[in-house]
Structure 1
Amino acid sequence: MSATTQPGAVSPPPVRGRTRRLRHGVPVEPIGLRLLKGLALLVLCAVVVLPFVGVLATSLAGREQIAQSGGLVLWPSQPTLEAYRSIFAGGVVTQALQVSLVVTIGGTLLSLAATCLVAYALAQRELFGKKVILMIFLISMLFSPGMIPTYLTVRQVGLLDSLWALILPTMVSAFNVVVMRAFFMNLPSELTESAQIDGASEFRVFTRIVLPLSKAVLAVIGLFYAVGYWNAFFNALLYINDATKWPMQLVLRTYVVNDVQMGSAELGSEVVPPQPAIQMAILVISIVPILIIYPFLQKHFAKGVLTGAVKG
């Protein structure tokens, strides 16, 4: 018996075959498998990135290169910003961009405020009729009122041709309420109870304790609302008849999806750039704001959604 073996101890069974190399206690994968995974990730990245590269390159390409390539350019030989200058010189895209920013920022703030208040109320154990109210929200996730009743309601309250028609019908999402309610229920009750014992009101507890601890879920839900408001075009198609109140996505649908030609009147320029360059420039402008915001909030996604989905 060796000096290191204790009486009655069971020695580990011998390992047959080749043993895997360890690095800091973690098995090291074979070089071939790692190369295969890297190649697969590279192909997936190329599939995702190349369309964006083509859109950006086409918006920067000249008339001759677009004509030679058949409408899609992967690398502009002589980049030009003429399409962007023409777009911002006219009033259509600039006005639509302002409308989208107002609707997205204002709608997101209102939706976050309403969702936080409703979710916090439903997270309270002593709320009378809490189960009934929660059941109404859950039913609304399964059954929608439909397009015609919603349109008649919007018309009846006088919201046609108003920016409020793009915000109020979708201001509160039942799914976001359920996620945020679950997040509030996971917060330690000792914090709120101790604050109430010290004399803090319910509103003070909500604003000074609950909301600062809920930055992750607020970032996630806020991004959900912002992306929804920014990408929405169907409500504008139904409720907005005035072209000066069109959001960016409705302009994108009109001039890119429906392939409506933009002339000098819409562009405010006598020399009209090629239509593919204009269309791709509009598409880039509609994508860039979300691409700028997303990296700052991406780190909160896993924590905000998964923590809010632990229990409900």
Structure 2
Amino acid sequence: MNNIKRTPAEKWFDLVNLVLVLGITAIILYPLVFVVFASMSDPRLMYDSPLLLWPKGFNLQSYATVFENSDIWRGYLNTILYTFVGTSINIFMTVCGAYPLSRRRFFGKGFFTFLFMFTMFFSGGLIPSYLVNQQLGIVNTMWVLVLPGAISAFNLIIMRTYFQTRIPVELEESAYVDGCNDIRLLYKIVLPLSTPIIAVMILFYGVGHWNSYFEAMIYISNRELFPLQLILREILIKNEFSDMLSIAVDEQYAERMIVREGLKYAVVVISSLPLLVLYPLLSKFFEKGILVGAIKG
């Protein structure tokens, strides 16, 4: 096979593209790198240079101070629990809703799809939602954070569309001929072929639960049930550092402000770490052609 010789213009085009991609990548990644380096730097040296390309005066005291705070650990465990339970409920309910709506034989699927889509644009509002949750007896419990949002209409439509367009009709018909019912078809054929969309839904729902704090701020008054993001809100916005800065109580105000900045960067890194680990693990499913070769001829 003869190799096609590239022209100088094509080579320059590739070079310009490479430079642009590297530049955009650096712009996107630098804020994250800055926060990581700032969290490991001596807070008193961070302000000597506006740009951090490496830790200034390597120091992990901010992390040690954060981990000494019991509220951080309790919030971490609560958030992990809420994320795991909530995402599990979300995936189960979304699959149960999307699969019937994707079936051609399901009578009234257009009407039910409209009802789901209607909730994307109109809702009862905060006060009616609070009254409903109060009447259900789930206010100030874990369930108020995972049950009211059990299904996202947007994600339901995405999964329904995936079932309609990516699951071959011939495969379903052959399964029916072999004696499969709808439940067995869903469990044995549809779900194994839907790994990419399930991974995307896990990511969407999981990130939503992990970053959620507004619902907890409205419905949760028991501090033992606070998620991590609500604890971080107190630290980053309300500046409640009294327990974490006992060593700096007698220092000057400016000194305390410097130490607080180091703590802010440390808690941001700690709260973002699970998501930074989750993204690479699930990204491989986004482009994986799992249906290639599912049908022959």
TM above 0.5, yes or no, is yes
Residue 294 of structure 2 is matched in structure 1 by none
Between the two proteins, what is the percent identity of the paired residues? 34
Residue 283 of structure 2 is matched in structure 1 by 298
Q: Secondary structure at the match of 1:62?
A: coil
Residue 18 of structure 1 is matched in structure 2 by none
The answer to whether 1:283 aligns with 2:268 is yes
Q: Greater CA deviation, 227-236 or 119-128?
A: 119-128
From 62, 70, 83, the equivalent of 1:91 is 70
The answer to whether 1:153 aligns with 2:138 is no
The answer to whether 1:199 aligns with 2:179 is yes
Q: Secondary structure at the match of 2:180?
A: coil
Letter in 1 for 2:22: L
The answer to whether 1:271 aligns with 2:247 is yes
The answer to whether 1:130 aligns with 2:115 is no
CA 1:25–1:67: 2 relative to 1, 3 Å: closer
Residue 162 of structure 1 is matched in structure 2 by 141
From 195, 198, 202, the equivalent of 1:215 is 195
CA 1:49–1:259: 2 relative to 1, 3 Å: farther
From 82, 94, 100, the equivalent of 2:61 is 82
Give, in angstroms, the shift of residue 23 of structure 1: 5.5
1:18-167 mapped onto 2 (5 Å cutoff): 24=4, 29-66=9-46, 68=48, 74-167=53-146
TM-score by length of 2: 0.85
The answer to whether 1:247 aligns with 2:227 is yes
Q: Greater CA deviation, 37-46 or 172-181?
A: 37-46
Letter in 2 for 1:230: W
Distance 1:29 1:163 in 2: 61
Letter in 2 for 1:278: L
From 197, 207, 221, the equivalent of 1:227 is 207
Distance 2:191 2:6 in 1: 40
Aligned 8 A contact 1:217 1:303 in 2 = no
Give, in angstroms, the shift of residue 217 of structure 1: 0.8
Cα deviation, 1:201-260, whole Å, max 9, x if unaligned, reads 32211111110011011111111111111111111111111222111222222211x141
Aligned 8 A contact 1:58 1:74 in 2 = no
Q: Secondary structure at the match of 1:181?
A: helix
From 157, 167, 173, the equivalent of 1:178 is 157
Distance 2:27 2:83 in 1: 30
Distance 1:60 1:219 in 2: 33
CA 1:136–1:26: 2 relative to 1, 3 Å: farther
Letter in 2 for 1:146: G
Q: Secondary structure at the match of 2:107?
A: coil
Give, in angstroms, the shift of residue 25 of structure 1: 8.3
CA 1:150–1:28: 2 relative to 1, 3 Å: farther
Q: Secondary structure at the match of 1:300?
A: coil
Q: Secondary structure at the match of 2:239?
A: coil
In structure 1, the gaps of 5 or more residues are 1-21, 305-312
Aligned 8 A contact 1:183 1:217 in 2 = yes
Aligned 8 A contact 1:192 1:205 in 2 = yes
Give, in angstroms, the shift of residue 55 of structure 1: 1.1
CA 1:33–1:188: 2 relative to 1, 3 Å: closer
CA 1:163–1:28: 2 relative to 1, 3 Å: farther
Letter in 1 for 2:142: L
Q: Secondary structure at the match of 2:201?
A: helix
Letter in 1 for 2:122: F
Give, in angstroms, the shift of residue 185 of structure 1: 1.6
Aligned 8 A contact 2:83 2:210 in 1 = yes
Give, in angstroms, the shift of residue 111 of structure 1: 0.4
Distance 1:68 1:52 in 2: 19
CA 1:27–1:299: 2 relative to 1, 3 Å: farther
Give, in angstroms, the shift of residue 68 of structure 1: 4.8
Aligned 8 A contact 1:60 1:79 in 2 = yes
Cα deviation, 1:278-297, whole Å, max 9, x if unaligned, reads 11111001111111111122
